[in-house]
Amino acid sequence: MDTPLSDSAIREIVEKQRRFFRTGATLPVSWRIEQLKRLKAAVMAHENAFEAALAEDLGRTQLEAYLCDIGPIITEINEMLRGLRRWARPERHFSGLMCFPSLVTKVYKMPYGVALVISPFNFPILLTIGVVAAAMAGGNTVVIKSSSKSAASTAALKRFFAEVFPPEYVTLIDGGHDVADRCLSQRFDKIFYTGSPAVGKHVLSEAAKNLTPVALELGGETGNWCVVRKDADLRDAARKIAFFKITNAGQICININQIAVAEEVAEPFLKELRQAFTQQIGEHAEENPEYPKLITDGAYDKCARLAEEYRARIVFGGNGNRETRRYAPTIIYPVRIDEPIVQHELFCPLLPVVPYRDAEVDALMETIAGREHPLAMYVFTRDMRWANRVMRTQQFGGGCINEVCIHMMVKGVPFNGTGHSGMGAYHGEWGFREFTHPQTVLKGRTRFNLSLREHPYTGKAGESKMKLLRLFER
């Protein structure tokens, strides 16, 4: 990694991008489309380099790297290429009788200007390029601060952007938290951060100094719940949960942090879950080269220490290899709902299981609702009336009924959190909206202007104006 940039060097990068933005070069939609096409072609050309970087940082196989990082980027850009002209078209509104003789008011979708994108380590390619694409679609220039934890991916991304775009349009800055703070001290026009709630608070605090609008995509401070009711298809639920927990070794912001399972079916469900893990990744996942690794030694040690605290209740897994940083998927059972392990985000392969009585499921949901809003919610049940009521009344970013994670792959819908799991939204048109602000412009006329808004407001003239106002407001 290069020597960290100084405050003055970062300030110069931002100012160069601001000067470029002020030329108006990024405003034409046709120009933005050309840049997105260039971005897509470059992603496809650098596929092998990205796969190698993801293998080095996170132990991803080629297929998992494409499934989770590279393929979704291409899909996302394709959606932007198909929809951008429609999204960017100014809205036309009838001005209303109160504004007569003006007939037309337009709402323009204007870029913010110079955007700062701070990306995380867990999906370093997807959550960098995917967000940058949204910023580009909106007509912004972009400064990227990528994660120092995923060093190989950051190095690959830095080479990538330097080859594809001039620095006054898109540039990547590497470095640790000190460099991130130097970036945050600059006056940006939009900030998009993906990461933890604790750092999200810091980003929001720094942005407030310049009144910069912020989008935060966070993991959820008290974790994402999966609720398995007694009428659920246990084998189906276990298969999907196991797949998801194996993916990226649990280092996913929308991953299942803990399971609540009806005690009436807890034992058969745990049997199915153990079998699903074994079938998909083997009895000793820590020795399987297909299984991803934790991002740093510190992350591995934190996971291992927490597992040791619950060693007596581990019913599957509990083994790791510090040299390779692989820690097996680990089921911990039983866990009470008030224990610390189910009151914070784990971001690792540990999977606490909380038993509850199925007749008391609504009380369980009340307890979950009383904690910080999660980024995701998953329920497995045949009771669609109950499931739909949960999805309509609980507060969370997004979720699934009898499925996991794939809600984020649906085109045309937002990916977002709420409260401690974030603010703002993106993917497709929602990303375009996140990186633009609606700008209302009324076109006035010089003839036939009414004197309604002008004095006098009293006497017969005032009475006549009041009658007209009441008529126009109907």
Tokens 């202007």 found at: 449
3-state secondary structure 293-355: CCCCHHHHHHHHHHHHHCHHHEEECCCEECCCCEECCEEECCCCCCCHHHCCCCCCCEEEEEE
> Domains of the chain, with CATH numbers?
7-220+423-437 (3.40.605.10), 225-371+376-412 (3.40.309.10), 444-472 (no CATH)
Q: Are 286 and 249 in contact (CB under 8 A)?
A: no
First to last CA, the chain: 65
Q: Which residue in 47, 64, 206, 217 is the catalytic one?
A: 217
* pLDDT of res. 220: 82
The DSSP H or E segment spanning 287 is: none
Distances (CA, A) of 29 to 17, 84, 179, 260, 411: 19, 7, 33, 48, 21
Return d(Cα 389, Cα 159) in angstroms, integer. 48
pLDDT tens digit sequence for 282-309: 999 999 999 999 999 999 999 999 999 9
Q: Are 449 and 101 in contact (CB under 8 A)?
A: yes
**Pairing relationship of beta strands 114-118 and 141-145 according to DSSP bridges:** parallel
217 is catalytic: yes
* pLDDT of res. 2: 65
SS3 141: strand
SS3 269: helix
Task: Give the list of residues 6+ apart from residue 453 with CB closer than 8 angstroms, or none.
Answer: none
Q: Are 69 and 53 in contact (CB under 8 A)?
A: no
pLDDT tens digit sequence for 193-202: 999 999 999 9
Return d(Cα 144, Cα 181) in angstroms, integer. 13
pLDDT tens digit sequence for 53-74: 999 999 999 999 999 999 999 9
pLDDT of residue 467 exceeding 70:
yes
Q: Quickly state the pLDDT bin for 450 (edges 50, 70, 90).
A: confident
- Identify the weakest region by mean pLDDT among 212-216, 359-363, 453-457: 453-457
pLDDT of residue 1 exceeding 70:
no
Angle at 46 between CA 133 and CA 12, to 5 degrees: 55
Residue-wise DSSP of 167-196: TTTEEEE---HHHHHHHHTS--SEEEEEE-
Helices (H) and strands (E) in the chain, counts: 16, 20
Token representation of residue 374: 């999660």
Q: Are 285 and 362 in contact (CB under 8 A)?
A: no
pLDDT tens digit sequence for 322-378: 999 999 999 999 999 999 999 999 999 999 999 999 999 999 999 999 999 999 999
Q: Are 305 and 274 in contact (CB under 8 A)?
A: no
**Pairing relationship of beta strands 376-380 and 398-401 according to DSSP bridges:** parallel
pLDDT tens digit sequence for 73-115: 999 999 999 999 999 999 999 998 888 889 999 999 999 999 9
- In the chain, % of residues over pLDDT 90: 92
- Identify the weakest region by mean pLDDT among 166-180, 259-273, 401-415, 443-457: 443-457
Return d(Cα 191, Cα 7) in angstroms, integer. 18
Sign of the torsion angle spanned by Cα atoms 1, 140, 112, 87: negative
372 is catalytic: no
pTM of the model: 0.95
Largest CA distance in the chain: 91
Q: Are 234 and 264 in contact (CB under 8 A)?
A: no
Return d(Cα 56, Cα 66) in angstroms, integer. 15
Q: Average pLDDT in the 141-167 region?
A: 98
Buried residues in 12-36 as b, exposed as e (16+ CB within 10 A): ebbebbbebbeeeebeebeebbebb
Backbone φ and ψ of 166, nearest 5°: -70, 150
Q: Which residue in 183, 253, 348, 405 is the catalytic one?
A: 253
Distances (CA, A) of 194 to 145, 146, 353, 381: 11, 10, 27, 32
